Amino acid sequence: MVFCQVFSGIIYYFTFLFNQVGQLRTSSHLQLRPGQENAKQCDTDNNRVTHGVNKCTVNNTIEKSLYSASRESLKMEPLADCSLLPGEERIIDKDIIYICPFSGALKGKVFITNYRLYFKSTDADPAVTLDVPLGAIGRVEKMGGASSRGENSYGLDITCKDMRNLRFALKQEGHSRRDIFDILFKYAFPLSHGLLLFAYLSQEKFEENGWSVYKPMEEFRRQGLPNDKWRVTFINANYELCDTYPTILVVPFKATEEDLRKVCTFRSRGRIPVLSWIHRENQAVICRCSQPLVGMSGKRNKDDERYLDLIREANGTAKLTIYDARPSVNAVANKATGGGYEGDDAYQNAELVFLDIHNIHVMRESLKKLKDIVYPNVEESHWLSSLESTHWLEHIKLVISGAIQVADKISGGNSVVVHCSDGWDRTAQLTSLAMLMLDSHYRTLRGFQVLLEKEWISFGHKFANRIGHGDKNHADQDRSPIFVQFIDCVWQMTKQFPTAFEFNERLLVTILDHLFSCRFGTFLFNCERARDTNELRSKTVSLWSLVNSDLSFYQNPFYTPESNRVLYPVASMRHLELWVTYYIRWNPRIRQQQQSPVEQRYIELLALRDEYLKKLEELQLSDSSPNSSHLSNSSTPNAASPTQHITHLHTPF
């Protein structure tokens, strides 16, 4: 028994140590490698980054080893032939020249499967490899013509959705370019050619079933719903009320089904105000919806006005705050197309606040400008002014600032309604970020998955239109990085609160990689109705199956659970950073400094704690056996206490 007490004391000692270390805030700094012009000289140890999509794996063990070994698809090290995923088939392979923006022209062989483009150089040591999911390709163009005479001027230009471009040169003899172009175009854009997305062909198996992560009724019960003020309705069970909403909705208890149908006619796309989240103590709620159909004539709808009043009365809010994500000029302009906003004369018990967040077109152009200054070369001479000219961080600031206002109102006991134009882009950003600030459950690994499934996937963010899965129309005006922008906002919060989130940066990058890859069904289609029609859950694998089969890989070692803490990030340009490890990860001259000594010490202490726990368990088992009775008999009343033993311990660090 004495040995057990000693080891218990040791564990308490180390628990105190890593709790102290865990309070320290760490951050990683990235910098350019001076004088490094040839990517082949790049130290591969400095090329580490999460790459959830571009891993030649079949299981999580291989995924983990590849993460630690590589920073990107462009790997400056020897690599064996790529292992195909279950369901992946090789289509063609061809000798080709890769025009690497960092190493110059490289001869090699390209392999195209129904899932990826894989290139391996033959004239470079170490070999250069590329591993690109076809879903990440946004555009394929022919480069040069029959009359092209310049060296490597005849080939293919490939624009990717993940902040990089690829260029390949081919010989002009025969039909070498036509063959590879036709195959690449066909399998990169399967829906445009009557083919299935790879997620429907994949035969991967995982220990966890990711489709069971989000169960609407369980999530509402966790929030304390239904109650005497709010009820669950199944009026949309067959998507008859709103075809872009989920089947299960929470609405004011006093609102009848007929009320909901009448309100539906006055809201864009039929997206009526419904509850997203409720504060357990003050009962203030976050509701989301689309704009009212006011039009140029200033139409009113008594049912809609009364419905918003029911939301206000549910917790006795003096005035309901309506957050319109748009700039006021845009909201007024939308009247010309039949939309509009809630006027003071019609909604007298509400106050309207415009958050000045720009539309999908502005965000798309902003990210394009950001790509121009970070790929392939980082604009060093005027970096700060170039970054400012993209306005990307300015947009990030406005989104976070808007979410802070929503969270602050809720904390003060006032209910809010959030909408933009149609309620599936900026609205989702604001509600989910506010819920992340207010509810610590969503800051856990599984809770964050629930948040994405609930506020983004089930409530109809148009992933298919915004990303363009399998669609060749690269100029589609519906494409926009709204979800990428949201994940960037989450990353900004994790930097400001390094101990508040159970998940790490790897999870965020993995989510964005598979947003494009089409390897999983999680982000496919625009709404639940389309997913049901296409039997998504029975025919594809969820991304959360991959993540939850190896949770430790995505865990933040500094995480400290705090159940009632509300996070208020600083939405100031001085406190926002460019997410270098995502936006500039393809540049091999960008290197991350070695792991923080504090973080390294913390991880070592965690490992040591696990080791002592294991030893303690073994001692307890042996102590309870009959053969160990002599140990307890030999102990003396004057034996040193665990505390006395601990004072003589020295850590090996």
Q: Which of 6-20, 355-369, 539-553 has the lowest mean pLDDT?
A: 6-20
Residue 160 annotated as lining a ligand binding site: no
pLDDT computed for residue 73 by the predictor: 38
Q: Report the pLDDT averaged over residues 564-571.
A: 95
Asked if the model's pLDDT at residue 647 lies above 80, the reply is: no
pLDDT class for 8, splitting at 50, 70, 90? low
pLDDT computed for residue 595 by the predictor: 54
- Dist. CA 218–CA 228, nearest whole Å: 18
pLDDT class for 37, splitting at 50, 70, 90? very low
Q: Name the β-bridge partners of 592.
A: 30
Residue 603 annotated as lining a ligand binding site: no
Q: How many angstroms separate the most distant Cα atoms in the chain?
A: 97
More confident residue, 267 or 4: 267
pLDDT computed for residue 628 by the predictor: 52
Q: Report the pLDDT averaged over residues 260-276.
A: 98
Q: Report the pLDDT averaged over residues 120-130.
A: 89
Q: Report the pLDDT averaged over residues 92-119.
A: 94
Residue 532 annotated as lining a ligand binding site: no
Q: Report the pLDDT averaged over residues 541-570.
A: 95
Max mean pLDDT among 6-20, 65-79, 621-635 falls in 621-635
Q: Specify whether the CB–CB gap between 287 and 445 falls below 8 A.
A: no
pLDDT class for 53, splitting at 50, 70, 90? very low
Give which of 568, 566, 562, 463 is closest to 517, Cα–Cα: 463
Q: Report the pLDDT averaged over residues 458-485.
A: 97
Asked if the model's pLDDT at residue 194 lies above 50, the reply is: yes
Asked if the model's pLDDT at residue 399 lies above 50, the reply is: yes
Backbone angles phi, psi at 35, to 5 degrees: 65, 20
pLDDT computed for residue 3 by the predictor: 46
Q: Report the pLDDT averaged over residues 446-459.
A: 98
Q: Report the pLDDT averaged over residues 561-573.
A: 93
Q: Report the pLDDT averaged over residues 427-450.
A: 98
Asked if the model's pLDDT at residue 472 lies above 80, the reply is: yes
pLDDT class for 12, splitting at 50, 70, 90? low
Asked if the model's pLDDT at residue 650 lies above 60, the reply is: no
pLDDT class for 173, splitting at 50, 70, 90? confident
pLDDT class for 626, splitting at 50, 70, 90? low
Question: Is 290 buried (19+), middle (13-18) or exposed (0-12) by CB count in 10 A?
Answer: buried
More confident residue, 381 or 559: 559
pLDDT class for 81, splitting at 50, 70, 90? low
More confident residue, 98 or 79: 98
Asked if the model's pLDDT at residue 52 lies above 90, the reply is: no
pLDDT class for 25, splitting at 50, 70, 90? very low
Output the average pLDDT for the chain.
Answer: 85
More confident residue, 623 or 509: 509
Element (H, E) at 353: strand 350-354
More confident residue, 92 or 629: 92
Q: Which of 46-50, 606-610, 631-635 has the lowest mean pLDDT?
A: 46-50
Give which of 550, 557, 567 is closest to 607, Cα–Cα: 557
Q: Which of 100-109, 159-168, 172-181, 592-601 has the lowest mean pLDDT?
A: 592-601
pLDDT computed for residue 11 by the predictor: 52
User: How much of the chain exceeds pLDDT 70, in percent?
Assistant: 81
Q: Which of 144-158, 186-200, 624-638 has the lowest mean pLDDT?
A: 624-638
pLDDT computed for residue 649 by the predictor: 36
More confident residue, 65 or 169: 169
More confident residue, 13 or 79: 13
Residues 6 or more apart in contact with residue 648 via CB below 8 angstroms: none
Q: Specify whether the CB–CB gap between 211 and 217 falls below 8 A.
A: no
Q: Of 56, 264, 420, 527, which residue is the catalytic one? A: 420
Residue 424 annotated as lining a ligand binding site: yes
Backbone angles phi, psi at 433, to 5 degrees: -70, -40
The amino acid present at 519, given as its one-letter code, is: R
Q: Which of 113-127, 148-162, 269-283 has the lowest mean pLDDT?
A: 148-162
Q: Report the pLDDT averaged over residues 384-411.
A: 97
More confident residue, 599 or 646: 599
420 labelled catalytic: yes
pLDDT computed for residue 596 by the predictor: 60
Q: Report the pLDDT averaged over residues 14-40.
A: 41
pLDDT computed for residue 48 by the predictor: 34
Query: DSSP of 296-352, one letter per residue?
Result: TTT---HHHHHHHHHHHHTTT-SSEEEEE-S-HHHHHHGGGGT-----TTT-TTEEE
Residue 152 annotated as lining a ligand binding site: no
- Dist. CA 521–CA 196, nearest whole Å: 12
Give tens-digit pLDDT for 228-254.
Answer: 999 999 999 999 999 999 999 999 999
pLDDT class for 625, splitting at 50, 70, 90? low
Instruction: List the structure tokens of 339.
Output: 């939309």
pLDDT computed for residue 417 by the predictor: 98
Residue 288 annotated as lining a ligand binding site: no
Asked if the model's pLDDT at residue 477 lies above 50, the reply is: yes
**What are the strands, taking DSSP E only, across 88-173?**
90-100, 104-113, 116-121, 128-133, 137-143, 155-160, 165-169
**According to DSSP H, which parts of 375-470 are helical?**
383-390, 392-411, 426-438, 445-451, 463-467
Residue 421 annotated as lining a ligand binding site: yes
